[in-house]
């Protein structure tokens, strides 16, 4: 999927300097204040197990100068990596889980935002959950956000006392996240609050309109939702989330947005960027909830069954020879009964069982059994490779 959209894989280390996450994710976020696995190494440096995927990618992007000389070149990267959060484990959310993400760095064009959303929706379709909906919002920029936040605080002001403790804290530290609250009465209090989309500066408004036009051009459906504010400080302009029903209250299966200030915040030159992340375990959970199962892989390779000590050496040599030729092959080191080995050949997903017993050794032959059709063919010893190749030719 990522290759189809011309994204290349990047692998970053499991841990980074703690400072990277303090600077990028932000000290007031839940991630930094409560959820990071931080430790000191023998040199007294503070290190942190990667709690999210974007900051490490940006760090590597800068350190390895992936941008090159052309400052406006678009660099497209994807990753699939374990991330670590000290969080209460719940359905589809583990302290070590896997995150897949993409980052498109170097372009501020609204079409790139649309491309990232398109890639995600294409992915959800491909993995069998086309009911995923894209929720879209704009969180503004350093020009229009401060004015808006002041207006928001003024409008919410007197109602804070009626809201939950988390919201009282959010009001002081990160008022955008007031929209994030799951408490029903808090939601009601926020229903009439002014939204960022209605208070964008000219540039942000123009950008947001173009993102929507781009999505319409490529036929990606979306819904506007002022509550999509994302938990991280570095987002600017476009913010989006992918949701589906079936996981209960926690129904986001991915999200992301534009982060035009992040590269600079990480110590690089001002460089726009947009990206998304998704929790793999959550996607698998949704699939499970829908009753979708793993696609059974096609049968392949040969399970060599040796019966008796005399056959063992020949069988062992055959397995090794097949592996050298690139044919997946295995053998039962426990030398169990024919029945047990045949069962294993089936359960292991092998295409053929190669049976070597006393009779076969005497005749200089091997009995090749097709595990699907159960058809058996006697093949001369030394001809197995040629016979296997011939089967493939027949099949294609």
Map the footprint of Zn ion across residues 195-234, applying CB under 5 A.
201, 204
SS3 assignment, position 298 = coil
* Number of residues in contact with Zn ion under rule CB under 5 A: 12
Q: Compute the least distance from the CB of residue 205 to Zn ion, in Å.
A: 8
Return the number of the residue (112 or 327) whose C-beta is nearest Zn ion.
Answer: 112
Cα–Cα distance between 366 and 371 in angstroms, integer? 15
Q: Does 151 bind Zn ion (CB under 5 A)?
A: no
User: In this structure, is the dihedral angle defined by the CA atoms of residues 207, 208, 211 and 212, taken in order, positive or negative?
Assistant: negative
Q: Does 188 bind Zn ion (CB under 5 A)?
A: no
φ, ψ of residue 252 in degrees (nearest 5): -80, 130
Q: Does 183 bind Zn ion (CB under 5 A)?
A: yes
Q: Are 91 and 288 in contact (CB under 8 A)?
A: no
Q: Which stretch binds Zn ion (CB under 5 A): 108-116, 133-141, 240-248, 340-348?
A: 133-141
Q: Does 156 bind Zn ion (CB under 5 A)?
A: no
What is the 3-state secondary structure of 216-243?
HHCCCCCEECCCCCCCCCCCEEEEEEEE
Q: What share of the chain is helix, strand, coil (3-state, %, to 5)?
A: 40, 20, 40
Biggest CA-to-CA distance, the chain: 94
Hey, what's the torsion of the CAs at 224, 226, 230, 233, to 10 degrees? 130
Q: Compute the least distance from the CB of residue 107 to Zn ion, in Å.
A: 18
Q: Compute the least distance from the CB of residue 235 to Zn ion, in Å.
A: 12
Cα–Cα distance between 126 and 124 in angstroms, integer? 5
Return the number of the residue (204 or 266) whose C-beta is nearest Zn ion.
Answer: 204
Q: Compute the least distance from the CB of residue 198 to Zn ion, in Å.
A: 13
The single residue among 121, 186, 190, 229 that binds Zn ion, judged by CB under 5 A, is 186
Q: Does 176 bind Zn ion (CB under 5 A)?
A: no
Q: Does 144 bind Zn ion (CB under 5 A)?
A: yes
The single residue among 55, 121, 135, 167 that binds Zn ion, judged by CB under 5 A, is 167
Q: Which stretch binds Zn ion (CB under 5 A): 45-53, 128-136, 155-163, 276-284?
A: 155-163
Return the number of the residue (167 or 322) whose C-beta is nearest Zn ion.
Answer: 167
The contacts of residue 338 (CB under 8 Å, 6+ apart) are 305, 307, 355, 357
Q: Are 151 and 133 in contact (CB under 8 A)?
A: no
Q: Compute the least distance from the CB of residue 163 to Zn ion, in Å.
A: 5
Kindly list the distances between the CA atom of residue 64 and the CA atoms of 3, 58, 60, 242, 361, in Å, as whole numbers in the listed order: 21, 10, 6, 32, 60
Going by C-alpha positions, the residue among 83, 133, 75 that lies closest to residue 105 is: 75
Q: Does 140 bind Zn ion (CB under 5 A)?
A: yes
Token pair for 202 = 């000219």
Return the number of the residue (60 or 164) whose C-beta is nearest Zn ion.
Answer: 164
Q: Compute the least distance from the CB of residue 232 to Zn ion, in Å.
A: 18
Q: Which stretch binds Zn ion (CB under 5 A): 35-43, 194-202, 301-309, 388-396?
A: 194-202
Q: Does 57 bind Zn ion (CB under 5 A)?
A: no
Q: Does 141 bind Zn ion (CB under 5 A)?
A: yes
Return the number of the residue (167 or 283) whose C-beta is nearest Zn ion.
Answer: 167
Q: Which stretch binds Zn ion (CB under 5 A): 7-15, 21-29, 179-187, 363-371?
A: 179-187
Kindly list the distances between the CA atom of residue 155 and the CA atoms of 187, 200, 293, 300, 315, in Å, as whole numbers in the listed order: 14, 17, 49, 65, 80
Which H or E run includes 135?
strand 133-138
Q: Does 149 bind Zn ion (CB under 5 A)?
A: no
Pairing of strands 75-84, 8-9: parallel
Q: Does 143 bind Zn ion (CB under 5 A)?
A: yes
Q: Compute the least distance from the CB of residue 136 to Zn ion, in Å.
A: 16
Return the number of the residue (84 or 208) whose C-beta is nearest Zn ion.
Answer: 208
Q: Which stretch binds Zn ion (CB under 5 A): 57-65, 132-140, 153-161, 351-359?
A: 132-140
Residues that bind Zn ion (CB under 5 A): 140-141, 143-144, 163-164, 167, 181, 183, 186, 201, 204
């Amino acid at each position: 999927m990522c290759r189809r959209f011309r994204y290349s894989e990047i692998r970053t280390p499991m841990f980074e300097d703690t400072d990277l996450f303090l600077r990028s994710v932000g000290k007031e976020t839940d991630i930094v204040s409560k959820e990071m696995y931080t430790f000191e190494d023998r040199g007294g440096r503070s290190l942190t197990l990667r709690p999210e995927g974007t900051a490490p990618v940006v760090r590597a992007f800068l350190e390895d100068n992936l941008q090159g000389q052309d400052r406006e070149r678009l660099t497209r990267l994807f990753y699939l990596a374990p991330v670590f959060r000290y969080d209460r484990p719940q359905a589809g959310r583990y302290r070590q889980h896997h995150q897949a993400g993409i980052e498109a760095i170097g372009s501020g064009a609204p079409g790139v935002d649309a491309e990232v959303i398109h890639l995600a929706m294409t992915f959800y379709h491909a993995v069998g959950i086309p009911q995923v909906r894209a929720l879209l919002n704009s969180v503004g920029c350093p020009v229009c956000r401060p004015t808006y936040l002041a207006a928001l605080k003024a409008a919410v002001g007197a109602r804070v006392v009626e809201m939950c403790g988390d919201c009282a804290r959010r009001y002081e530290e990160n008022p955008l996240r007031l929209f994030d609250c799951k408490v029903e009465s808090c939601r009601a209090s926020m229903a009439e609050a002014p939204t960022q989309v209605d208070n964008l500066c000219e540039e942000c408004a123009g950008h947001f309109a173009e993102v929507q036009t781009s999505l319409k051009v490529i036929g990606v459906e979306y819904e506007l939702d002022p509550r999509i504010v994302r938990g991280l400080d570095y987002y600017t302009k476009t913010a989006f989330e992918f949701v589906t029903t079936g996981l209960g209250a926690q129904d986001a299966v991915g999200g992301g947005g534009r982060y035009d200030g992040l590269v600079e915040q990480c110590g690089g030159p001002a460089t726009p960027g947009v990206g998304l992340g998704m929790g793999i375990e959550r996607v698998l959970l949704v699939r499970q909830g829908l009753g979708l199962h793993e696609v059974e892989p096609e049968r392949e390779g040969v399970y060599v069954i040796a019966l008796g000590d005399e056959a063992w050496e020949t069988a062992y040599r055959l397995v090794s020879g097949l592996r050298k030729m690139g044919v997946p092959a295995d053998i039962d080191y426990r030398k169990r009964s024919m029945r047990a080995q045949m069962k294993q050949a089936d359960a292991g997903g092998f295409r053929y069982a190669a049976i070597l017993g006393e009779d076969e050794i005497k005749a200089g032959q091997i009995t090749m059994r097709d595990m699907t059709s159960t058809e058996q063919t006697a093949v001369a010893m030394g001809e197995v490779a040629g016979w296997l190749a011939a089967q493939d030719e027949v099949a294609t």
